[in-house]
Chains A and B, each alone.
Chain A
Amino acid sequence: MSTQLELNVRRKGAMSGVLTIGSLDPAFAMAREVEGGMAVLDLSAVEFVEPAGLCGLASLLEFLIPRSRLVGLRFSGHNVTAYLERMNFFKIFGHRVETNADVAALEERRRGNPGTLQELINFHSEGEIPGIINRISEILTNKDYRLRERAAICATLSEICANAVEHGRSPFGAYAAVQAYQHIVSGPRRGERQGEEVLVAIADGGVGVRETLLRNPAYVEHTGSDNDALRHALKMGVSGTGEVGRGGGLAVVGQIATRAGGSLSLRSGSGRVTYYGDRTNSRNVPDFPGAFVRVSLPRKAASSQPPAVSKSKKPIAKSR
């Protein structure tokens, strides 16, 4: 028996042909029905993959592969497969799925991708994170990112990577990818901003956010649904263990993203929450096995950067 997994890829507008995490919703909904048979995912409508789509695709495949006799991927044209090859997708999945892409030919033509800050990477432990951060920091330095931009991207990535492996208990660990885009701007006030946006995406296959927070009896009122749990997880000091000092990472990442004019999206179970600083959107979506995080960090011109925050300026003695 073969199951054809559907995708929701838009055919019109700014997001036409883009594989996002939302594009994978119908496929995630159908993935649970694949019980030992063959699963086929037709990506021929996809022209462009963003890091969230890439990490989501990796999660979907990790979910499908152990449940299927065979997983097939169908592509049309070279652009998407060439991009996936540059993002190390076929290095990780090439031998685990059947595909109509000529992977060997792609490897020969392989070349650098100017916007790639982190190819699709699979990691399993916190100990791997400093190495990942050192590498992306070096790439950002070579690309003339300013220190504060580099700090924002690195702190975001490290914090969310740490969450993924700490709460994950995931059979495949976690996947991360980071990409910079020119003139793609998402989030509120579309059209006001020009320039570049850095997208960070991370997915794990662990127990999910609601299950993690349910370990803490204090949160019983905030874990009624996956969306409740996601909204609560964004608050300062909310963690599964309830230890003082824990649960600050995601809140700080939310501050970093929204200060840059971007957003932080979480997805786990049937919940999906996007935080813009002044408002939070939530909606129900097909079940995501694990937790998924997407952070948008728009880059602004140096002159429009807010000054360094000085709220910690609290002298306790007269100047010396």
Chain B
Amino acid sequence: MAEEAQSRAHAVYDVALGGGDGAGGKLMVTRGTGRRVREALGEVLESLAGGGVLYVDVRGVELMDYSFADEALGILASRVAAGEYGDRRVVLVEEDRELLENIEASLRQRSLAMVRVDEPGATPEIVGEVPEHLVETLQAIYDAGSISNADLAARLGVNHTACNNRATRLFKLGLIHRRKNTAAPGGRQYFYEGIV
């Protein structure tokens, strides 16, 4: 993993425990409950430094319904994708349980995706929907750890502009980090890296 990624600020929010604001619980149902959890998550996300990553740990939750999943995580993902939290990112920490289906259904409805890990440090996976033509790009970036636009373009066999467009889309969906390297030979160049 790139050193750059490891130095980024991160926080873990355990949804079952809540943030000491009474928003936690093992049975997560209704939009009202989801809204309270999303507001708590939003506060933690805003408190992070730029480029920071919030791990949303739902492993302690026994069950959630679609309404909760959409309100807490679907809307949060849509706000991250809309740039409301700048370049801060969200990662879902959850094992492959049926509970994930509600999150999957919500993200698919919204044509969004989140990065998911079984536990912090585990292999990242995608929950939700990534446009087919971006999947290969996403995999190439995560496999590389950190990669320049030129190297990524070469690996994918596409021109620099097409490569940049694809990566920019992934960046806006909140699935990767992007940084500018102005000292690169031949002028400024983007570097991309995974968020976990």
Residues of A bordering B, CB below 8 Å: 126-127, 129-130, 133-134, 137, 147-148, 150-151, 154-155, 158-159, 162, 236-237, 244-246, 248-249, 251-252, 255, 308-320
* B124 contacts chain A at the CB level, 8 A cutoff: yes
Q: Kindly state the separation between the CA atoms of A133 and B31 in the bound complex, as whole angstroms.
A: 14
Q: Kindly state the separation between the CA atoms of A312 and B96 in the bound complex, as whole angstroms.
A: 8
A154 near B66 with CB under 8 A, answer: no
Nearest CB in chain A to that of B139: its residue: A316
Q: Kindly state the separation between the CA atoms of A126 and B99 in the bound complex, as whole angstroms.
A: 21
Taking the closest CB of chain A, its distance from the CB of B139, in whole angstroms, is 5
Contact of A155 among B29, B78, B109, B142 (CB under 8 A): B29
A312 near B109 with CB under 8 A, answer: no
Residues of chain A within 8 A (CB-CB) of B64 are 155
**With A310-B96, A312-B96, A313-B96 in contact, is A162–B31 under 8 Å at CB?**
yes
> In the complex, given contacts A249-B66, A317-B142, what are 17 additional A-B residue pairs having Cβ atoms less than 8 angstroms apart?
A130-B29, A133-B29, A137-B27, A137-B62, A154-B65, A155-B65, A244-B109, A244-B110, A248-B109, A252-B65, A314-B125, A314-B126, A316-B142, A317-B123, A318-B143, A320-B122, A320-B123
Q: Kindly state the separation between the CA atoms of A127 and B67 in the bound complex, as whole angstroms.
A: 13
B110 near A245 with CB under 8 A, answer: yes
Taking the closest CB of chain A, its distance from the CB of B63, in whole angstroms, is 4
Taking the closest CB of chain A, its distance from the CB of B97, in whole angstroms, is 6
Q: Kindly state the separation between the CA atoms of A315 and B32 in the bound complex, as whole angstroms.
A: 32
Q: Kindly state the separation between the CA atoms of A129 and B28 in the bound complex, as whole angstroms.
A: 11
Taking the closest CB of chain A, its distance from the CB of B24, in whole angstroms, is 12
User: Max chain B CB contacts within 10 Å: which of A137, A155, A311?
Assistant: A155
A308 near B29 with CB under 8 A, answer: no
**With A130-B27, A249-B67 in contact, is A312–B123 under 8 Å at CB?**
no
A245 near B74 with CB under 8 A, answer: yes
Residues of chain B within 8 A (CB-CB) of A126 are 30-32
Report the tally of A-B residue pairs with Cβ distances under 8 A: 122
* B14 contacts chain A at the CB level, 8 A cutoff: no
Taking the closest CB of chain B, its distance from the CB of A225, in whole angstroms, is 26
Residues of chain A within 8 A (CB-CB) of B25 are 130
Residues of chain B within 8 A (CB-CB) of A148 are 98
Nearest CB in chain A to that of B121: its residue: A320
A308 near B124 with CB under 8 A, answer: no
Q: Kindly state the separation between the CA atoms of A245 and B122 in the bound complex, as whole angstroms.
A: 29
Q: Kindly state the separation between the CA atoms of A318 and B194 in the bound complex, as whole angstroms.
A: 12
Q: Kindly state the separation between the CA atoms of A312 and B105 in the bound complex, as whole angstroms.
A: 10
Can you list 13 A-B contacts with CB-CB less than 8 angstroms, sorted by A residue number? A130-B30, A151-B63, A155-B66, A159-B29, A162-B30, A162-B31, A237-B109, A312-B100, A312-B104, A315-B125, A316-B124, A317-B143, A318-B123
User: Max chain A CB contacts within 10 Å: which of B25, B27, B78, B100?
Assistant: B27
- Interface pairs A-B: 5 shortest CB-CB: A317-B142, A158-B29, A151-B63, A155-B65, A252-B66
Nearest CB in chain B to that of A237: its residue: B109
